[in-house]
Structure formats: structure tokens, C-alpha cells
Structure 1
Amino acid sequence: MAGRHQLIAVIGQGAMGRVLLGRSPDGRLVAVKMIHRHLAKNPEFRARFRLEVQASQRVTGAYTAAVMDADSEAEEPWLASVFVPGPALREAIDQHGPMSLGGLRLPTAGLGSALMEIHRAGMIHRDLKPTNVLLAEDGPRVIDFGIARALEADLQITSTGTLVGSPAFMSPEQASGHELTTASDVFSVGAMLVLAATGESPFLGASAPQTLYNVVHNHPDTSRVPAPLRPVVDACLDKNPAHRPDPRQLIDSVAAITARSAWPAGIRQQITRDRADAKRWVDSGGVLPEQPAPRRTARWIAAAAVLALLVAGSITAFLINRNNPSPDPLANRTLELTDEQLRLADTCALLGNDVVGKLGQPVKPELADSSLCGTKFIEPGGRQTQLTVGVGTSVAGKQLAEQVAGRSVLDTTVAARSCGRAVAVRDQPTLGVEVKTIEAEGDSCKLAADALKAVVTRLVTNPPSVHPSKQSVVRIVPCESVAQDVISPQVGAGTPPTPVDAHTCTWSGSPFVITVHTAEGKRVDSDPKYTRLLVNGGKLGDFPSARRIDPNGTCATYYLVRPTIEDRGEQIAVTAQPTGAGAAETACAATEAVLTGVAARMGSS
């Protein structure tokens, strides 16, 4: 038994452990990965595995092999995931040849959906390859997410300065040893789609070094990829991560394809055989019949080898020892960010595993505002805190002795059991990058300082950016968002704008102090603290907007320009704070006038 799961048979083994076919109490089949005891004795390995189990349990999308149960504290740590009957993509292409356009629809949309879930959980797969994608009856299943990081912590297997991954399906930035973003996984998907469409890896060379050279420098031949998919595949394989599509665009790319989504007949038959073979194992209690069909037995062993990759995939990945230690990426570098970079910074990407993963495990980073992202954070020892990162926010605090990337570190701590560390990149107002730990256990300032350095390193080497549409409110320069003839009646002629942060500007005049905030954030139209309305009687559109009036007469009106994802949306928020007698009665009318002006200028830009 592994916990409450009955173990039927060993169906695969690797350097990290064994894979066993199991059955859960409700009768479902599971693949149970059991880590070797000698690895489990390594405290660093076990701590990393514990974090990866927690991370893997958050990935629950339809196109991943969902984790059902785990015990990271057992003598032999184990993890049970849904058993997936079906070949790996590599095996399917080798045996049945390239897929038609209808077959390619399934991995294109399915892998896009899987990446959305993996990235939403704050992870980067980093080892997407054809042996880590199983072809289930209703679509692909990505496996082995997060386990590669557990492997890296095992000092008996790897060492500092090693490059982990599969050369033919690495991104150029991974092959070069640079920091990774979620775009790295998108590149790997593009390489797999070329394989699925043509039967050949687009970068495979005569040797591993040649393959890596091809990944970094050569542009692949995609002429044999079906024309409807070729544009998105070419975009996935762009050398510049910023030019690659996001997972949602992968999904959208198949919408116009008319070919019916279906695996080729050979793959469908293989899935049926795998399901039957698993049933034979269970019915026999793990003992093979005396005279099994030779072809079926060999076929099942091959399928079991695929399952072994759930544990051993990272071991069999290519390892390149680098004799020279990596130089400090911040050496002789100064953090410089333009105003546009401050506005378009992808703050949640700065809480990904590729940035802060060495310090612990972020648990599903969530955007609070375009400038601010937060996550529950679990340190290797199990301590928990709330970690937030702000870019382009106002920073102020005591200057400390240490520096990061040529900038003095500021202590911005404001509460007990919390700590803030920041660096300024802009004066008047003082804007910068800030990391905060909230309700932390233990030495929260060390974590804040280490996280700040990790975040700044990423911003210096490869700043992550969002890519909103040209008409997005995120792109708006807030102090230039409204015409003078619109703002003057509300604050007085000649009142200058004062920037507050990357997305906020204030005009302090009479009869109002007007504040304009343009960003993506949590929608307020469903919050009971706000009253829903249509701005200017619906002249700006019928998206639900909302208003809040404070006891002092301050009116804040939020106009939803467009919904984005989950409970977020791009919003223009205008606040009017009365500064003169009787002004409170017209404060809300002032917000609507300014909102209309901002929307008009945005529409004409």
C-alpha cells in the first residue's frame, strides 16, 4: 500500500525511484511514484520534493495528469497521479508517423490549456518534450511538471552549474543558461508541434552541442507544417521570448480550423490496448498470465517505460556540466527601467519559480493591480508568509548600507511580523521596485532582501512584460490621460498634474482633488461596497461600472473598459475629493466628466 492506494505492480524504474500501477479506494487506477530511500535521506532533496508535491497538487487542469494524493514525509516519499492509458507523443509519432491537421488540433489546444494551468500555478515546466506528453483518449496530458526541480536539489546527481533539460526541445534562453519565463514552455510546445506535424525534431543535430547550437541560432524549416497552423508554430519558435504567443493564443489558433479533432486510428487503437493491458495487471493482481501474448507483453513494457518518465524523466534529461561558475548577473550592472517598462511590467512573472524558486515555493501568484502581485509563499523549512512584489509603485523608507544593482536598498517595513525592501529607479515621485513579506514567521527581512535581489536580477537581465492591445488602459500615461479643457473645470485652470505611481496621477486643486488610475485589477462591479451604474447613461458602453461614496463626500467611479481573466478587468478609476464647501454634491458628476474625457482621449490615440 501507498497510503490508501493498493499497489498492483512495478511498471517502471528510474534513477529517482519506481513507478507502480495502483488502485485507489474508489477503484480508479493511479500511477504511484515512489522515491528511492537513499535520495529521501538527503534533507535538501526531501525539502524540495515537499515543495514540488505542493506545487503539483495545484495543477488540476484537464490536460495534465492530476495529482490525487502524496506523502512527502514517508520513508519512501510517494506521489499518486491519475493513470493515463495511451502512448507518449514520441512513441506515437515513431510508430504511426506524422499527424494530419485534425490530429494536430488536439495537442495544439490541449498543450495550450495545460500551460495555462501550470503557469497559473506559478510554475514553469522547463522540460516539455515528446516523452512528457501522453496522448489520452480525449487529448494530451502533460506529466512530470515540477519534478525536475526536485532533481536539481539532489547533490548526488547534479551539481552547481549544470544545465537541465532535453536539448532538442529547449528554448534558446534555456540552452544559453539564462533566466526563464513562461515563454520558454511555449517554445518547447512549438518544437513538439513541428515533430507531430513532420515526424522530425526541428533542431536535432548530430550531437548534443550541435543541437543546442541549432536551438540558439538556426531557424527551423516549418514548410511541412499544415498552413493553418504554420503562423502560430513559427511564432512559438521565435528566438525572442517576448514575441511568442501566450497559451491562450495557442488555444485560439485552432478555432478557425475546420478539420475534425481526432487522433489517427493507430493511436486510438493503442490507447484501447493500453487500457486493456492495465486491466489485465489489475485482474491478475500483478501476476502475468502463464502464456501472455508476446507482442502484447512487449507492448505493455514499452508503455510502462513511458510511465517511468513520470519519475525518471528528469534523470534521463540532458545534463551539461559547466566547469566555470556562472558570473554574478548583477556585477557592474545598474537597474534601469523606462516609464513604459514600469507600466508594462509583468509583476506576477516576478513571483514565478524561475525567479524566487530557490527561496521557496510561490502558491499561485495573483494580480492585485497592474503594479502589484502577491502570493502565499512556503519557505523550504515549511514556514509560510505572504510575499508581494510591486513595480512602478511609490517607495519610501530608511536607506540601508547594502546595494542591489547599483541602487541603495530601502527599508520600507511598516508593520510587525512584516518586512519591506525596495530600490528606487525614479525620482519626483520616487518610484521603484518593492518586495514585502506580510505576517511572516521568523526572519522575514532576510527573505524580503533575498527576494528583492532575485526580482532585480530578473529585471536587469530580462524584464518580463505584459503585451496588452494598443487600446489597453495599461499603456496609458496617467498624467497625459485627460485633456486640459476637461480637467480644468474640476481643479482650476493651470493646476499641474502630479504623478503618484506608474498608473496613477493626481491634480490637487479646487473644488476637487482629482485622481486618475488606469490599470488592470480586481473588478469592483460585483462588490457590495460599490453601487453599479452605467457611466453617462451608458454612452461609454454597457460594461458594468461601479461607484463608492465616502462619508467625507469623496466619490470614486470605476469604469470597466474590458474584462480580462477570472475576476479581473482593465479599469479607469477616477476619484474626486471635495476641497470646497458644497463640492460634495457634484463630486460624482466630476468623476463622470473626467472619465468621459479619459475614454475619449484613449479612443483617439
Structure 2
Amino acid sequence: MKPLGRHDPRAAGRHQLIALIGQGAMGRVLLGRSPDGRLVAVKMIHRHLARNPEFRARFRLEVQASQRVTGAYTAAVMDADPEAGEPWLASVFVPGPSLRAAVDQYGPLPLGGLRLLTAGLGSALVEIHRAGMIHRDLKPSNVLLAQDGPRVIDFGIARALEADPQITSTGTLVGSPAFMSPEQASGHELGAASDVFSVGAMLVMAATGESPFLGASAPQTLYNVVHNHADTSRVPAPLRPLVDACLDKDPARRPDPRQLIDSVVSISGRSGWPTEIRQQVARDRAEAERWVEAGGAVPDESPRHTVRWVAAVVVPLLVVAGSITAFLLGRGDPPADPLANRTLELTDEQLRLTDTCALLGNDVVGKVGQPVKPELADSSVCGTKFVATDGRQAQLTVAVGTAVAGKPLGERVAGRSMLDTTAGPRSCGRAVAVRDQPALGVEVRISDADGDTCTPATDALTAIVTRLVTNAPSVNPPKQSVVRLIPCESPDRNVLDSRVGAAVPAAPIDAHTCTWAGVPFVVTVHTAEGKRVDLDPKYTRFLVNSGPLGDLPAARRIDSDGTCATYHLVRPTIEDRGEQIAVTARPTAPGAAEAACAATESVLGGVVARLRSL
């Protein structure tokens, strides 16, 4: 926590404000004390955002939803003023880590902790559904582990059970993909059973440390939620039947919240959090009380009062469209530069497997602007509309493992020279290279924006590089995923020699693309997740006869210069996306155009064979 700044208010309604817990692009969260002495967490929207009628309307709906829900296992809303110049919401301060932070730091919960978590979540859902609401965004970061049980927070995207289907099914994807229900991931109308599915997914994560549906990308994750069955083999046996029932794809077959509570009665053992979590709850409570005792001044930091700070979520935070993410509590002192004496180093495998969309999360780029909905363009590229701190909207795109080339700026970030890769008006690009020949690296581009775009682009690149240096996010695709393929090693060398000439060297283009410049063809292989071309009427669909591999469904495009591109869909992911292998043959000799498509088919067969051998 930090002391209040000069411009921070000292009160919100009747609540005295004590300290700053955290802040982001949408607002800040402050520690407060109500007139009866209880501690409160006050979420306050930035004044300039409050001038946006749509944003204020969404916050007003969040307040209404939060006030409808009461109960022992939710963080009760005590007061709110959505009409204030800086709209605010005060809820009971809950000391303790989020479920996500607790599992990340201390590991999976033992059976006693799972028993308490199950009963608490069931009780919370009883209260939420009794109030006529569906939460719609139950996930580990929205569950706080208080001393006596879990607390469900974040009603930013909750909706009434009796709401018009047009309100709950507008085609806009809201929520967290890894913990959505199949009906939510598919954009269908939701019922109370959707929240039960989310609880099942959280119980798997709490028991194993891993999300049961997390894929290589958001589209892959959504596909897994809709079509794949979770592996619950590592969930403790007494809890496994209940978890399997919660994760049934058919909402009608899932248990109701009261059955969640009843199910733990037969589980032997004492309910309760492990010692490490109980100790953290006590530390968080003591820290808040010290700030209150100090009256907002910096508390005594003598050795007997030193508290080890941990990544604990104690309050809901602001994100765009009224949804809420988690802040990580930091030290009161200015944090050390995480890039000091550090150099950004990424192996070729890390370049292929980096989760680019995770780099556009609020926890990474929140100081630059608020990401709206990151969307994967290609395995290396993810983009999002975002709201800058000045309220303007723009497009923010990050690429990892792509070719970077630009003018050195004289600045360095994580030991790497920063490059200016700007191309075109109303945009700015910033990049760093992490390897040479070819120069591959990390690039950030801000486009469709007016005013200064280079300052936020530089800040975004620094934030993204910091995440890559300290805790690089990576995808976990299936074993036989095109994302895992090393493109320069994927074709059959004998086939290549027959098509481009013997001993033509492989030349990597980016993390997912390789080319062989020979005669009579230049052959290029690209292995990544992207937009499916078999759905595009500009491409001709057909079957490639690949002998023992069988017939491979494919789509083809032939350019005016005779270049032939053949695409094979390995697996669909979600909506119009899929994992694909693309082989292109560009003629470099007279008369070669007629054989270009045959060349792509033969090379494709070798790549598919390599993929199936993984």
C-alpha cells in the first residue's frame, strides 16, 4: 500500500480513505474505514472516464448487481455512488490472497482446502442465484480466500436470470475463456448452470494447479471448453464425481449449488486452508490495520513490523466494460527496476510458444491503456482495441518471434537496442531484436490513433519486455500441434531436394515460417494458428492424396505469377480459426508454374508426417 497522493480524495461518502491499494488505467482502489470502524475497499473510477456516458452506465449496472447479492461467501457492498464526479463503490475489505495467487504461490490445495472451497462456492452461488443473478465471470482471480472461507467478488458482467436474452446474448464474448461454460463460449443464452460449470473448472485448477481447458490461444481454449472433456484424473477421488458432474457439457445434467454444499458432507477430513494461506491472511489484515492506526501516514517499518509482501488479491479492480480484474499488492516503497542488469533472452522454442495475447492483458499494459478484447491474428501476433489513459481509443498490436527491422533510437530496454518500426500515419512502432540472421524479436505497434502514439508504444514495449524477462507467458498446445513444429525442420529433406535442388539451405523468416530459395521453386512453409482459408470462397477446396497418410483436406490459391499456396487445416479451434500448415511454391524457372501446385502437395505430405510423429 502507499500513502494517498495530493490529488487523492480523503473521503468517499461517509467513508474515510486511508491508503492507496493500487491503481490502473480505469481507476484506483483505496483502503477506507467506515463510520462503524470496519475496513472497506473503495473502487473509484477516474473522473475523465466517468464523463463517458456508456462507461458510467456500465458501472451503474455493476453497482446494482453487486448490491443485489448478499451472503457470507461474497464481499458485501456497503455503499456506492455511481453518480459522483468520480463514481465509487465500497465493499467489505477482505484480507487474503485470491485462489489464483494462492495456488501459484503455495501449490494445489489439499483435500481439506478443497472441501472448504467447494462448500463456500456452493453457498455463494445459492446467494447469487437467489438474488436472480448469474455471475458469468467466476474464475480463480475473482475468488478471495478469507480466513473462514472463500469470497466471490466481481459482479461487473453479472446479469439477471430473468433478463431479456438479447441482453445476455448479444454476440459479444464476455468473461474468461478458460473458465467459461460451453454455452457461454458458444454465445448461447445462459442459466444458473453456467456458473456451476465455472466452479467445476476452478476446482480442477485448485486441485491440480492447472486449468482443465487452457489451450495455445484464446480460440483454442474456447474450442476446448466446447468440445473437449477435462482430465480430472488428478482431482482427489472423493471430489472427482462432483467435479465431473459440474463439467458436464449439458447444463441440465449439472448439479445445483445446494448439491455442491451437500456433496462435501461425505468427504472425511477437516475443512480449512493450509497453514501458509492462513498466515498470509493474518499478514494482510495486520498490514491494513497498521495503515489505519497510522492515520494514513506511512506505518512503522521497523524490523518487528516488517511484512513480507506477496501477490495477494484483496479487492476487485476496474477494467473496461464494467468487468473486474485483480491487482497485485506492491510494497509501499518504490519497486526496484525489474529490468536492471537483465537482458531479454528468448530461445527459438520460446518465440514459438509465447502467449502473445497474455502480453496484452491488463496486468501487463494496464498503465498504458485498458485492453478491450485481445484477439489472436496469428500464432505470433495478437491485437486489441484499447482505451488510453487520456480516454482515446486506438489499436495495440504485439508480435513475438516476427522479423523486426528499423532505425535504432539510442534507447535500450533489457539490454536490447530499441528500434523505430513506424510505418504510416497515425501509428507508431517500437521493437527489440532478440536474435540475428534473421532479426527476430518483439514489436509493439499502436495504430488508428491521433496525437502522440510513440510514448504509449514505448511504454507498452517496456511493459511487455518486462513480463517476458520476469515471467514469460507461454501456451501449452497439444503434443501434435503445428505451433510446436520447427518450420525449417518440418519438411522431408528428400522431397525438398527434388523440388528446390540439392543442398538448398533453409532460411527462417520468423518463428513459424521457413523458406528454401532454389530452382525451379522457392518453397515456403508456415505452421501456425490463424484464420481458416477453407471457409474463404477465394480458395478452392480439394483433397491431397498423400498415400499412407490418407487424403488430406486442403484449400488452394494460385496467383497471377504462377505461385501456388496449399493450406491444410490440422484442427479447427474456435469460430473461423484453426491450426494450419501452409506450403507455397513460387516458380523461379520458365515453365515451372504448371508443377508448382504438385510441389506444394508433396512438401505438405512430409510436414504432416513430421507433425504426426511428434
TM-score bracket for the superposition, by shorter chain length: 0.5 to 0.7
Are the structure 2 counterparts of residues 422 and 562 from structure 1 closer, same or farther at C-alpha, using a change threshold of 3 Å? same
Are the structure 2 counterparts of residues 575 and 255 from structure 1 closer, same or farther at C-alpha, using a change threshold of 3 Å? farther
Amino acid at match of 2:405: A
Quick one: distance in 2 between partners of 1:243 and 1:255?
Answer: 11
**1:482 counterpart = 2:527:** no
Are the structure 2 counterparts of residues 359 and 412 from structure 1 closer, same or farther at C-alpha, using a change threshold of 3 Å? same
Contact 2:114 2:206 in 1 (8 A): no
Q: Tell me the CA shift for residue 410 of structure 1.
A: 0.5
Are the structure 2 counterparts of residues 187 and 536 from structure 1 closer, same or farther at C-alpha, using a change threshold of 3 Å? same
Q: Tell me the CA shift for residue 170 of structure 1.
A: 4.5
Aligned ranges 1:331-370 → 2 under 5 Å: 331-370=340-379
Residue by residue over 1:200-240, the C-alpha shift from the partner in whole angstroms, topping out at 9 and shown as x without a partner, is 99965599xxxxxxxxxxxxxxxxxxxxx99973643566x
Quick one: distance in 1 between partners of 2:437 and 2:549?
Answer: 34
Aligned ranges 1:547-586 → 2 under 5 Å: 547-586=556-595
Match of 1:454 in 2: 463
Quick one: distance in 2 between partners of 1:414 and 1:593?
Answer: 38
Amino acid at match of 1:195: L
**1:515 counterpart = 2:497:** no
Aligned ranges 1:200-219 → 2 under 5 Å: none
Are the structure 2 counterparts of residues 341 and 545 from structure 1 closer, same or farther at C-alpha, using a change threshold of 3 Å? same
Contact 2:204 2:212 in 1 (8 A): no
Are the structure 2 counterparts of residues 583 and 16 from structure 1 closer, same or farther at C-alpha, using a change threshold of 3 Å? farther
Q: Tell me the CA shift for residue 83 of structure 1.
A: 5.2
Secondary structure, in 3 states, of the residue corresponding to 2:373?
strand
Match of 2:335 in 1: 326
Q: Tell me the CA shift for residue 358 of structure 1.
A: 1.5
Residue by residue over 1:447-498, the C-alpha shift from the partner in whole angstroms, topping out at 9 and shown as x without a partner, is 1111101110111111111100111000000000012111111100110100
Secondary structure, in 3 states, of the residue corresponding to 1:455?
helix
Are the structure 2 counterparts of residues 327 and 393 from structure 1 closer, same or farther at C-alpha, using a change threshold of 3 Å? same
Quick one: distance in 2 between partners of 1:52 and 1:191?
Answer: 47
Aligned ranges 1:206-605 → 2 under 5 Å: 233=203, 235-236=205-206, 252-253=229-230, 254=243, 261-264=255-258, 322-536=331-545, 544-605=553-614
Q: Tell me the CA shift for residue 362 of structure 1.
A: 1.4
Secondary structure, in 3 states, of the residue corresponding to 1:441?
coil
Contact 1:473 1:572 in 2 (8 A): yes
Quick one: distance in 2 between partners of 1:521 and 1:487?
Answer: 25
Residue by residue over 1:315-363, the C-alpha shift from the partner in whole angstroms, topping out at 9 and shown as x without a partner, is 9x99967332211111111111111110001111111111111111212
Residue by residue over 1:549-584, the C-alpha shift from the partner in whole angstroms, topping out at 9 and shown as x without a partner, is 100000011100001122111000000000011111
Amino acid at match of 2:442: V
Task: After superposing the two structures, state which structure 1 stretch, 194-203 or 589-598, moved more.
Answer: 194-203
Quick one: distance in 2 between partners of 1:344 and 1:530?
Answer: 29
Quick one: distance in 2 between partners of 1:554 and 1:534?
Answer: 19
Aligned ranges 1:161-180 → 2 under 5 Å: 166-172=95-101
Secondary structure, in 3 states, of the residue corresponding to 2:516?
strand
Match of 1:180 in 2: none
Secondary structure, in 3 states, of the residue corresponding to 1:350?
helix
Amino acid at match of 1:464: P
Residue by residue over 1:54-89, the C-alpha shift from the partner in whole angstroms, topping out at 9 and shown as x without a partner, is 5xxxxxxxxxxxxxxx448xxxx733688599866x
Match of 2:152 in 1: none
Q: Tell me the CA shift for residue 415 of structure 1.
A: 1.2
Q: Which of 91, 98, 116 does residue 195 from structure 1 map onto? A: 116
Contact 2:119 2:261 in 1 (8 A): no
Quick one: distance in 2 between partners of 1:521 and 1:266?
Answer: 39
Contact 2:95 2:146 in 1 (8 A): no
Match of 2:273 in 1: none
Are the structure 2 counterparts of residues 310 and 81 from structure 1 closer, same or farther at C-alpha, using a change threshold of 3 Å? farther
Secondary structure, in 3 states, of the residue corresponding to 2:359?
helix
Contact 1:167 1:175 in 2 (8 A): no
Are the structure 2 counterparts of residues 530 and 332 from structure 1 closer, same or farther at C-alpha, using a change threshold of 3 Å? same
Q: Which of 131, 139, 143 does residue 74 from structure 2 map onto? A: 131
Secondary structure, in 3 states, of the residue corresponding to 2:61?
strand
Amino acid at match of 2:599: A
Contact 1:232 1:250 in 2 (8 A): no
Normalization by structure 1: what TM-score?
A: 0.59
Quick one: distance in 2 between partners of 1:381 and 1:266?
Answer: 45
Secondary structure, in 3 states, of the residue corresponding to 1:452?
helix
Are the structure 2 counterparts of residues 320 and 458 from structure 1 closer, same or farther at C-alpha, using a change threshold of 3 Å? closer
Are the structure 2 counterparts of residues 508 and 165 from structure 1 closer, same or farther at C-alpha, using a change threshold of 3 Å? farther
Report percent identity of matched pairs: 55
Q: Tell me the CA shift for residue 529 of structure 1.
A: 1.8
Are the structure 2 counterparts of residues 44 and 405 from structure 1 closer, same or farther at C-alpha, using a change threshold of 3 Å? farther
Match of 1:32 in 2: none
Contact 1:384 1:441 in 2 (8 A): no
Quick one: distance in 1 between partners of 2:486 and 2:517?
Answer: 18
Are the structure 2 counterparts of residues 492 and 155 from structure 1 closer, same or farther at C-alpha, using a change threshold of 3 Å? same
| Superposition CA RMSD, Å | 4.9
Secondary structure, in 3 states, of the residue corresponding to 1:425?
strand
Q: Tell me the CA shift for residue 591 of structure 1.
A: 0.5
Are the structure 2 counterparts of residues 462 and 526 from structure 1 closer, same or farther at C-alpha, using a change threshold of 3 Å? same
Are the structure 2 counterparts of residues 481 and 131 from structure 1 closer, same or farther at C-alpha, using a change threshold of 3 Å? same
Quick one: distance in 1 between partners of 2:387 and 2:545?
Answer: 47
Q: Tell me the CA shift for residue 264 of structure 1.
A: 2.4
Contact 2:525 2:581 in 1 (8 A): yes
Match of 2:188 in 1: none
Are the structure 2 counterparts of residues 168 and 373 from structure 1 closer, same or farther at C-alpha, using a change threshold of 3 Å? closer
Amino acid at match of 2:60: W
Amino acid at match of 1:233: L
Contact 1:543 1:562 in 2 (8 A): no
Q: Tell me the CA shift for residue 585 of structure 1.
A: 0.5
Are the structure 2 counterparts of residues 428 and 267 from structure 1 closer, same or farther at C-alpha, using a change threshold of 3 Å? closer
Equivalent residue pairs, number: 420
Quick one: distance in 2 between partners of 1:378 and 1:450?
Answer: 14
Are the structure 2 counterparts of residues 352 and 323 from structure 1 closer, same or farther at C-alpha, using a change threshold of 3 Å? closer
Match of 1:79 in 2: 61
Contact 1:366 1:375 in 2 (8 A): yes
Are the structure 2 counterparts of residues 538 and 47 from structure 1 closer, same or farther at C-alpha, using a change threshold of 3 Å? farther
Secondary structure, in 3 states, of the residue corresponding to 2:575?
coil
Q: Tell me the CA shift for residue 413 of structure 1.
A: 1.1
Q: Tell me the CA shift for residue 439 of structure 1.
A: 2.3
